[in-house]
Copies of this chain bind each other. A is one copy, B any other.
Amino acid sequence: MNKIYNPTKETWQSILKRPTANFNDIEETVKGIFKEVQTKGDSAVTKYTSLFDGITIGNIEVSENEIKEAINLVSDDLKNAIQLAKSNIEKFHAAQKTAKVFVETTEGVQCWQEKRPIQKIGLYIPGGTAPLFSTVLMLAVPAQIAGCQEVVLCSPPDKSGKINPAILYTANLCGVTKILKVGGIQAIAAMTFGTVTIPKVYKIFGPGNQFVTVAKQLATQFGVAIDMPAGPSELLIVADDTAVPAFIASDLLSQAEHGTDSQVILVSTSKELIDKVEEEVQKQLEVLPRKAIAEKAIANSKLIFVENDKIALELIDEYGPEHFIISTKDEDFYVRNIGNAGSVFIGNYTPESAGDYVSGTNHTLPTNGYAKNYSGVNLDSFLKAMTFQKISEIGIQNIGKTIEIMAEAEGLQAHKNAVTLRLKDLKI
């Protein structure tokens, strides 16, 4: 771990620098597969599933029977856990519904805003070592609340041609309308263009490796929206002497085990706490099954000492962490003033893993400094805001002249004329 004491402001940028991924070398691969899926559809999807996942699959759509089988395979304990998590995520996201915004801006000029669902969405759930059924909850639950009509889920098959039962169980529980055994670039391409088996969608959500990340970026060039740009996961903790070093260490490690490129930062006004946390990290690290991964991330981690809360806040705001844990005496100072963070965890008994799974907040959050300009996934991510206006005869007489003057000043005579004709009609 790298200890840094009182860094000067000029050095912040380099201290807080994230690893910059160079995607140029994989961009050509991604483009090639997109082109092939666009022209050849399902047969290209099957080809790349064989190539990348090492299995040739006849029917890539998950059947009713496979779902029944999966339901039997998931333990009751896990089912209950998933259901409690679902219930909390539902409560929090349902509360985000907004009523129609209605304003009569001028007499006779009625304007309103309504949100309507994005009709077709795609969820990407990675395979690999960690079967992310929690991400299914985070994406499918708000999609269902929003009223999305088609919810397509793609996830790569394992070597035996199956998707993890917990993923299938959760997808089925949360109203996913179609589940497909397809992963990687070919999954994103298929949801972008549509194939006979895989529907084209309007927006793609979900995490993935660098190939999936680049594929999602490329999808946007073909009219598909994506949840947000992705980068390695991050945690920044601000803590002082009121924090429990063992808790802080456990939170840093739970971030570190995500991947060797995970970003782990502790900012503190206490040198003593920094030393204690460092010790605790070493102790806890020893017994972790994913020690090899966590160890590498921890080696790059930073423990930063600063003089006071004000400097700490400024530094944290400059970083804009995805996850931000506050474990200080004056927690309100940070809660009130933090400008850039994805999700904030407050106090000694709020570990990041609570938000990853059960508290109810969404765990799909902006990384890589995107907390400065992007929201995490929330109910609105599955909706579009549309505006409406209805102007009465009185209304157009009230604002008509104004429109005419502005249109004329912008040199748009036909815009003016659309009003002039109506005003004349009303004068007869």
Contacts and interface: CB of A to CB of B under 8 A. Distances in A.
Contact of A105 (B294, B359, B380): B359
A299 interface: no
Given A101-B96, A109-B360, A375-B384, A119 B247 contact: no
Contacts of A422: 247, 348-349, 351
A56 interface: no
A300 interface: no
Contact of A254 (B366, B401, B412): B412
Contact of A405 (B78, B220, B294): B78
Determine the main DSSP class of A at the interface with B: mixed
A335 to B, nearest CB: 7
A393 B349 CA distance: 6
B335 A388 contact: yes
A77 B403 CA distance: 11
A147 B315 CA distance: 21
A223 interface: yes
Contact of A343 (B375, B386, B413): B386
Interface stretch (A130-138, A177-185, A302-310): A130-138
A33 to B, nearest CB: 19
Contacts of A197: none
A368 B222 CA distance: 11
Nearest to A389: B359
A421 interface: yes
Contact of A85 (B129, B340, B402): B402
Interface in A404-420: 405-407, 409-419
B116 A91 contact: no
B378 A374 contact: no
Contacts of A343: 386-389
A345 interface: yes
Contact of A103 (B360, B366, B368, B386): B360
Nearest to A251: B418
A416 B353 contact: yes
A140 interface: no
Nearest to A423: B349
Contacts of A412: 130, 254, 257-258, 290, 353
Nearest to A337: B116
A253 interface: yes
Contacts of A374: 225, 384
Contacts of A103: 91-92, 95, 360
A388 to B, nearest CB: 4
Given A349-B395, A357-B406, A387-B361, A415 B254 contact: yes
8 contacts: A88-B111, A106-B358, A111-B360, A131-B409, A250-B417, A258-B412, A294-B414, A351-B396
Closest 9 CB pairs of A and B: A105-B360, A88-B105, A375-B385, A225-B373, A351-B418, A250-B418, A353-B415, A202-B373, A361-B387
Given A92-B103, A289-B411, A348-B422, 11 more contacts: A92-B101, A109-B359, A111-B360, A131-B411, A220-B229, A294-B414, A344-B386, A344-B388, A347-B392, A350-B390, A380-B385
Interface of A: 77-78, 80-82, 84-85, 87-88, 91-92, 95-96, 98, 101-103, 105-106, 109, 111, 113, 116-119, 129-134, 166, 202-203, 220, 223-225, 229, 244, 246-247, 250-251, 253-254, 256-258, 284, 288-290, 294, 335, 338-362, 366, 368-376, 378, 380, 383-393, 395-396, 399, 401-403, 405-407, 409-419, 421-422, 425-426
